[in-house]
């Protein structure tokens, strides 16, 4: 049987606590501060390009949740072509799996970059037609479209791997600046991918 002096375990525990005092804080004060998400994030909404869309309905057939509802009709000006009369996505059912985006062969569908799309009313989660188009506040992410990655800032959580620290502005913009290398014990573990 092994005996230890009374209080040794307590001191060891306090030393661990003491070491953490010298780590730079990695907690952000959300919502006053916001981290920059991954460039390939699958946000809370879909962004649709109605110019590229050929109304094949593949995305609606692919969705495992049945969250996409499309209504089409024959184009009166061109009977050999179909036009879309309603393109509706119920983001309340959407699980952000991205399968619809992967299945679109015409690059007409993107996952959104935004992650704060909570609503008070269930019906406000349904987006349709013009409400699915890209705008200043509805930006498409680079998920499945890696050529778009250059348009996005670096993800904040990856900065620690590069021995840099993130300067997070209350406005939500994150600037990145090189920082002095932290002491060995203060290097946080790399986030699980
Ligand atoms: S898969 Fe793409 S091209 Fe086909 S209907 Fe959906 S968005 Fe349009
Ligand atoms: S991301 Fe997945 S669940 Fe959401 S609309 Fe597309 S296929 Fe459906």
**For the segment 60-86, what is each residue's pLDDT rounded down to a tens digit?**
999 999 999 999 999 999 888 899 999
Query: Cα(67) to centroid of ligand 1, in Å?
Result: 14
Are 138 and 112 within 8 A, CB to CB? Answer: yes
Q: What is the pLDDT of residue 123?
A: 94
Q: For ligand 1, pick from 55, 89, 132 the residue to mutate: most ligand atoms within 8 Å of CB.
A: 55
Q: Which two tokens stand for residue 29?
A: 């004060």
One domain, residues 111 and 193 = no
Q: According to the model, what pLDDT value does residue 64 have?
A: 97
Residue 25 has pLDDT above 50, yes or no: yes
- Kindly report the number of other CB atoms within 10 A of residue 164's CB atom: 15
Of 145, 161, 185, the position where a domain reaches its end is: 145
Does residue 78 contact residue 160 with C-beta atoms inside 8 Å? no
Residues 163 and 122 in one domain: no
How far, in Å, is the centroid of ligand 2 from the Cα of 96?
Answer: 5
- 35 and 50 belong to one structural domain: no
177 bridge partner residues:
165
Domain that holds residue 30: 23-39+153-193
Q: 123-159, pLDDT tens digit by residue?
A: 999 999 999 999 998 999 999 999 999 989 888 865 5
Number of domains in the chain: 2
Report the alpha-carbon distance of residue 116 to residue 158 in Å, rounded.
21
Q: Other C-beta atoms within 10 Å of 1: how many?
A: 2
Q: How far is CA 130 from the centre of its chain?
A: 22
> What is the rounded average pLDDT for all residues in the chain?
82
187: CB partners within 8 A, 6+ apart: 160, 163
Q: What is the pLDDT of residue 168?
A: 54
12 within a domain of the structure (yes/no): no
- Assess if residue 114 is contained within a domain: yes
**Number of the ligand 1 atom closest to the C-alpha atom of 106:** 3
Q: What's the mean pLDDT in 5-15?
A: 88
C-alpha–C-alpha distance, residues 59 and 89, integer Å? 11
């Amino acid at each position: 049987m092994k005996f230890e002096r009374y209080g040794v375990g307590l001191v060891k525990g306090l030393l661990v606590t003491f070491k953490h005092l010298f780590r730079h804080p990695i907690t952000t004060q959300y919502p006053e501060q916001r981290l920059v998400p991954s460039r390939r994030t699958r946000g809370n909404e879909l962004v649709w390009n109605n110019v590229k869309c050929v109304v094949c309905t593949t995305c609606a057939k692919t969705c495992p949740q049945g969250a996409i509802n499309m209504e089409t009709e024959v184009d009166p000006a061109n009977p050999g072509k179909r036009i879309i009369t309603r393109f509706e996505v119920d983001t309340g059912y959407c699980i952000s799996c991205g399968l619809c985006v992967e299945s679109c062969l015409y690059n007409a569908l993107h996952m959104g970059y935004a992650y704060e799309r909570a609503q008070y009313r269930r019906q406000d989660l349904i987006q349709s037609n013009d409400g699915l188009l890209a705008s200043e506040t509805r930006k498409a992410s680079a998920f499945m479209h890696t050529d778009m990655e250059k348009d996005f800032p670096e993800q904040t959580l990856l900065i620690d791997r590069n021995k840099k620290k993130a300067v997070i502005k209350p406005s939500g913009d994150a600037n990145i600046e090189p920082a002095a290398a932290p002491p060995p014990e203060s290097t946080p573990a790399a986030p699980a991918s």
